[in-house]
């Protein structure tokens, strides 16, 4: 019966695929206990003591608790982003592109894991979730390629003089996400900014 529901016959060597499919079909088994706020390489616990429930759409159960950040935590995140902006903005486009491509490879290697979490968190089908993860990866790859081409212009002036323009990162920016494509929109917001040498704070939809 399970094999009919999964849509493929049992064959030797299909155990990993069957296991993955069972994980995709199951719900109510994910428990998230780590803090969701993250900056400067660490997960952070808010001092505000204000929490909101995050519900799993398929079951209605509480999936985790979202800790709201106050003025102090937001300031810490901005300070961390400004600190990261310094060395990141001084990298060449080729250096930034290399790091972004590595990030895309990490997403590709963990595609199934990320897609399954999107199903639990968002309630969409596993097929759509996989497409979202692929779209996020492709977006990062695209802007990684664009980072290598960012350059100013040389303008010839009368009398043998010339002028030139230089593209410079402006600093820290903020990307605000949405509930329906959380992982995909995070990539859409961050990839262009990172390619241009900026640092970004990501504020996902609650």
- Residue 27 confidence class, pLDDT cut points 50, 70, 90: low
- Model pLDDT for residues 86-115, shown as the tens digit of each residue: 999 999 999 999 999 999 999 999 999 999
Domains in the chain: ranges and CATH? 77-203 (3.40.605.10)
Q: Please give the pLDDT value at position 15.
A: 42
Q: What is the mean pLDDT of residues 32-58?
A: 87
Contact indicator for 184, 136 with CB cutoff of 8 Å: yes
Angle subtended at Cα 84 by Cα 95 and Cα 143, rounded to the nearest 5 degrees? 40
Contact indicator for 121, 66 with CB cutoff of 8 Å: no
Q: Is the pTM higher than 0.85?
A: no
Give the chain's end-to-end CA distance (angstroms, integer): 38
């Amino acid at each position: 019966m399970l094999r009919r529901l999964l849509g493929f016959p049992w064959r030797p060597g299909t155990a990993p695929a069957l296991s993955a499919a069972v994980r995709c079909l199951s719900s109510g088994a994910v428990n998230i206990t780590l803090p969701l706020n993250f900056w400067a390489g660490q997960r952070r616990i808010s001092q505000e003591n204000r929490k909101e429930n995050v519900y799993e759409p398929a079951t209605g159960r509480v999936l985790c608790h979202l800790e709201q950040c106050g003025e102090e935590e937001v300031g810490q995140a901005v300070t961390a982003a400004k600190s990261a902006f310094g060395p990141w903005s001084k990298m060449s486009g080729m250096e930034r592109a290399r790091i972004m491509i590595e990030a895309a490879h990490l997403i590709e290697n963990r595609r199934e894991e990320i897609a399954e979490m999107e199903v639990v968190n968002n309630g969409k089908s596993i097929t759509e979730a996989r497409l979202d993860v692929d779209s996020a990866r492709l977006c990062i790859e695209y802007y990684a390629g664009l980072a290598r081409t960012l350059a100013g212009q040389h303008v010839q002036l009368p009398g043998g003089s010339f002028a030139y323009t230089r593209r410079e990162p402006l600093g820290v920016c903020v990307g605000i996400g949405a509930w329906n494509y959380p992982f995909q929109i995070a990539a859409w917001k961050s990839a262009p900014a990172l390619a241009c040498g900026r640092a970004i704070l990501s504020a996902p939809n609650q």
